[in-house]
Structure 1
């Protein structure tokens, strides 16, 4: 059963965009999760308003445009395209008409610190050949065993649970029992190490949790499912960049009469008893609503937007004691030459693995070495760079703002170190060819995206911060407040935030019945 079949959307015949007789849904945040929830709610018959502080939709999936270059601000890897196809279908549109999605082959090209390379793809024969080059004796058997375990985890953790709300302790107990049988109490790295003997292969097949904010040595082994997810559905790129996908979802919101208000910051969620009655903007304007959906970081939703509310579960103390994902240092740059031998997605691993992750997640120390993800969309998409030029971003996991890095002092120093590393490894003579540059640090995540502690992916995806233990999609504090996005269930990554939006759309009451019962808007 697909996600759409589990939470079908019955699309009514709509009248006018501003029909006051329709129940009103106010969505905080125009990230992928917020826009997707807004599109589905509008398709269900809600009058929808999305409010976002940025000047364009996207949130983490915003696009920076400067000097003729287009830089995706955040997510660049699209998996599970069927989720987007279902979203478009439920909103009365056709995905392929709005978004040109292309497969990436290989998925990534990985460079180890000793200069050896690995082409990571979804082709089992090609992968076995690559693995055998590193470990000709044990590697292939280990790969087959790991991929089978990944498939079993995927069948339960993704197909049965990713689109289910974890509000019931009884359901959670049954679900967790099944996952415990699959070894959910283990870390991703421990599962990988069970199958692979060679350290390079252990690194290669365990790094995926970093793409959603998790430490492979503590992230629950549920996230081993990513290997099967990619192998089964592929890794894709939206022509024009991930923000082109965002533009398509924003179009769906408007298709069914929704409104997106940009440059507006929600200051407070207004409440009466156990109900949210709307929001107050930083401008002082109030907007009444029958339901409120927050795509903001849950720590911000509860700790700031509901600071006035006595909270039973998500108290300030609980928020402050959570374990949050790492921060990110992102350098966006354009060159006046093309690097034709650099793939679309590259991983440039450093000399350390576990030690570096300990520095980032535990010691909160800005280390002298790093592992990097390099994105070169102009390898396949000429629209993101001027003729003869290349568009890049390079991402380095760093401690979040609970560490002691002074980014006002260290940012340019750190950028130059990354530039030097790239020159030494994959982009020779880089410094001489840079014609456009900008950076983002954990401070930008805190100030611009309102992420608690500048964490790039909200709560770290550990076992006791997943499923029921993660902020629920229907708030425990207010009856008509709903949460979607990376910080709530099922978690970060485009498939996760899209599933969270569909969960919300399946949880909200029927808009006609809600309005007949005396909504506030």
Structure 2
């Protein structure tokens, strides 16, 4: 099946969808509201510093490899990927005035086992069992769940899944936090194993233990970085989409998805221009798609549905251009607050606030990629999980954001300085920009200013996550972080493939067959 397709949104999901559909023979036009492509995986430059404004972890490399092979090329051809050693560094909250000793996490089973034995003697065999289980769960997820559109139940009834139900059921019934606590005592090791829940938009207390599979990625496999930053990944996918024949339009905000006779028939832009199409694929935030781009009678997920959903965390982002070097930081650095429970209650609980002290993620790409900062300077991307609450205000440049946001940013900078032994950090900042949930809401249309997408709680994962096609409008499909299979760059690539699978009539749980290498 082929015809004309309108794709709404130029983030990675939209670009990948446009690329795959164009390669399948569809006449594709993509509409991005902003001046540049990328969506959450955006880019910002000032004074010689270039910042990725969103994703910064290259995990699940086989998903990227598969996508590029579907497009007749390879990740090695399109990207310059560098392995990171250490994978990341951890600073626990100091017990006194002096910084705690950093903990370097090096990928590979032997290195991970050595770290766990060093901090908790005798824990090596337990880690082996944990990572073996994580690997089995990961392989099962990739082969049986992530590439399933759930148009039928064949995948769920697969004998390989049924055989593993006795192991899967407890992993769904208990939390990741409990699963880890039953196996390890050292608080830092528990945090290393629990923190991946944040990548899923959840807390360790609410993410199902099944997501311990994430530890296979950083501890067993490794972490990569694409030279040029994640804007290089976006550029590569956009290049492939164009070469396949897709038209990519920026500064083209969609105002309405046009529906005639119960079927999608194109889009109307904010300037009144109408673009007719046989199908529409919206990769915009699902809440915005449903509540703003469709009429009430056309909505699969109306307002009352959203009242019971978890938007995941918001985020305070700091983009900092710093004079001088910062050897205290690795490419990826995590600061872990000691009171783990209170930290996540501040974000997800009934009485929310910006955590202080916070658990903080810092990316220092300039240690790996000198092109992102002037010589002798550092580029820092700082992410602080916070409530998804746009009322806290907007960010800005050089301290001109709303007071609550800038005050929180000042506290974060001071915390980084104290915990990492960099007392002059604030004085060395030459470029500063803050981004907050209000900015995610206004700039990206993110529901409640969520930074990632719908949280991967049990009721918002796998078969319980929004599907990739409207139940009310024929020919209207969805991709992106709000729908199957979920949050993150690899998941967005898979969501694009799920659109292609649905249009091909493929109801299997398998990945699409890759073209033969000779035909690349």
Fold match (TM-score > 0.5): yes
Report the CA distance between 1:324 and its aligned residue: 1.2
Q: Kindly tell me: are residues 159 and 431 of structure 1, through their superposed partners in 2, closer, same or farther at Cα, counting changes over 3 Å? A: same
Q: What SS class does the counterpart of residue 251 from structure 1 fall into? A: helix
Task: Look up the match of 1:4.
Answer: none
- Work out whether 1:284 is the aligned partner of 2:272: yes
Distance 1:376 1:506 in 2: 38
Do residues 470 (structure 1) and 470 (structure 2) align? no
Deviation string for 1:153-186 (max 9, x for gaps)? 1122233211111233575577698374352122
- The alignment status of 1:381 with 2:369, answered yes or no, reads yes
Instruction: Tell me, in whole angstroms, the C-alpha distance in 1 between the residues paired with 2:262 and 2:493.
Output: 27
Q: Does the 8 Å CA contact 2:109/2:220 hold for their aligned counterparts?
A: no
Does the 8 Å CA contact 1:154/1:229 hold for their aligned counterparts? no
What residue is the counterpart of 1:46 in the other structure? 26
2:141 aligned residue:
157
Partner in structure 2 of residue 69 of structure 1: 49
In structure 1, runs of 5+ residues without a counterpart are: 1-9, 11-21, 511-521
Partner of 1:418: 412
In structure 2, distance between residues paired with 1:116 and 1:479: 58
* Mapped partners of 1:205, 1:59: distance in 2: 29
Partner of 1:229: 217
Corresponding residue number in structure 2 for 1:136: 121
- Asked whether 1:265 is paired with 2:253, we answer yes
Tell me what 1:210 maps to. Answer: 198
* Aligned counterpart in structure 1 of residue 8 of structure 2, from 5, 28, 34: 28
Q: What TM-score do the two structures reach when normalised by structure 1?
A: 0.89
Task: Please give the alpha-carbon distance, in whole angstroms, between the structure 1 residues aligned to 2:393 and 2:67.
Answer: 42
Tell me if the contact between 1:80 and 1:234 (Cα under 8 Å) persists in the aligned partners: no
How far the C-alpha of 1:509 sits from its partner, in A, is 4.2
What is aligned with 1:479? 474
After superposition, where does 1:14-413 map in structure 2 within 5 Å? 23-114=3-94, 115-137=100-122, 139-168=123-152, 171-172=155-156, 178=165, 180-181=168-169, 183-311=171-299, 313-362=300-349, 363-401=351-389, 405-406=392-393, 408-413=402-407
Q: CA deviation at 1:216?
A: 1.2
1:28, 1:51 within 8 Å by CA — same for their partners in 2? yes
Per-residue deviation, 1:281: 0.9
Q: State the 1:290 CA deviation.
A: 1.0
Q: Is the 8 A contact 2:148 2:155 kept in 1?
A: no
SS at match of 2:307: helix
Give the distance between the partners of 1:398 and 1:199, measured in 2 at CA.
Answer: 22
In structure 2, how many angstroms separate the alpha carbons of the residues matched to 1:434 and 1:135?
38
The superposition leaves residues 416-448 of structure 1 with CA deviations (integer Å, 9 ceiling, x where unpaired) of 111111111223311111111111000111000
Over the aligned positions, Cα root-mean-square deviation in angstroms equals: 2.0
Q: Partners in 1 of 2:258 and 2:296 — Cα distance?
A: 9
Q: CA deviation at 1:412?
A: 0.9
Equivalents in 1 of 2:295, 2:224: separation in Å?
40
Aligned length in residues: 487
The residue number in structure 2 matching 1:5 is none
Offset at 1:95? 2.9
Give the whole-Å Cα distance in 2 for the aligned partners of 1:39 and 1:74: 22
- Distance in 2 of aligned mates of 1:212 and 1:66: 31
Instruction: State the alpha-carbon separation in 2 of the partners of residues 93 and 453 from structure 1.
Output: 38
1:304 shift after superposition: 1.4
Give the equivalent residue in structure 2 for 1:519: none
Check the 8 A contact 1:365/1:405 in 2, yes or no.
Answer: no
Q: Are 2:7 and 2:28, in contact at CA under 8 Å, matched by a contact in 1? A: yes
What's the secondary structure of 1:222's corresponding residue? Answer: helix
Q: Which moved more, 1:23-32 or 1:197-206?
A: 197-206
| Residue number in structure 2 paired with 1:6 | none
Counterpart for residue 518 of structure 1: none
Q: Is the 8 A contact 1:158 1:225 kept in 2?
A: no
Partner-residue secondary structure (3-state), 1:60: coil
Are the counterparts in 2 of residues 442 and 456 from structure 1 also a CA contact under 8 Å? yes
Structure 1 residues 67-98: Cα deviation after superposition (integer angstroms, max 9, x where no partner): 11110000000012222222222223343232
